[in-house]
Amino acid sequence: MNKKIIIGVIALTFLGIIIVMAKNNNQQSIPNAGVASETANEIQSSNIKNSVDKIEIYYFHRTQRCYSCNILSQYTREIIEQKFSEEIKNGKIEFREVNVDLPENKNTALKFQASGSSLFVNVIKDGQDDINQDANVWQLLNNRSQFENYLTNKINSLLDK
């Protein structure tokens, strides 16, 4: 009888360790769109402040798009047009939607290494590209306000506003 209890305790302990390890692994692979990614964005933007030539924001997609892909496109376009209209006019910010399925977009997709629905931010400084995919936006699609705050803060930090 005692042998069964000991085996049960060992099995439960082992299971608990596996659960904790899996949880820690998930936290490392998917950064929190609030705290961790904001810190990463601040570090990244501090390296490129003051002499940003241009910010290119590219939304890549396929011909067939799902609801989430359409929402990402809509939110991004509306926020950039509403909040950064002056920067668009003076050429500091450019937003483009690119269908990766079209042959004429092949070179652009290769440059960004985009193969499907994704949002990329290219910060051009001293004529050099600094291309980064932003996967955090997908986690924020269910809350327009959070999405808007995140994207607006990210762009403002890159512009040093």
pLDDT by residue, tens only, the chain of 161 residues: 566 555 554 544 444 444 444 444 433 333 344 444 444 444 444 444 456 999 999 999 999 999 999 999 999 999 999 999 999 999 999 999 999 999 999 999 999 999 889 999 999 999 999 999 999 999 999 999 999 999 999 999 998 86
For the chain, the domains span 35-159
Structure tokens at 46: 């501090």
pLDDT value at position 87?
A: 95
Give the predicted TM-score (pTM) of the model.
Answer: 0.66
Comparing CA positions, the residue from 95, 66, 75, 93 lying closest to residue 151 is 75
Pick the CATH number of 35-159 from 3.50.50.60, 3.40.50.970, 3.40.30.10, 3.10.180.10: 3.40.30.10
Longest dimension (CA), the chain: 79
pLDDT value at position 4?
A: 59
Instruction: Give the phi and the psi of residue 92 in degrees, each rounded to 5.
Output: -75, -30
User: E strand or H helix at 94, and its extent?
Assistant: strand 93-99
CA separation for the pair 125, 145 (Å, rounded): 30
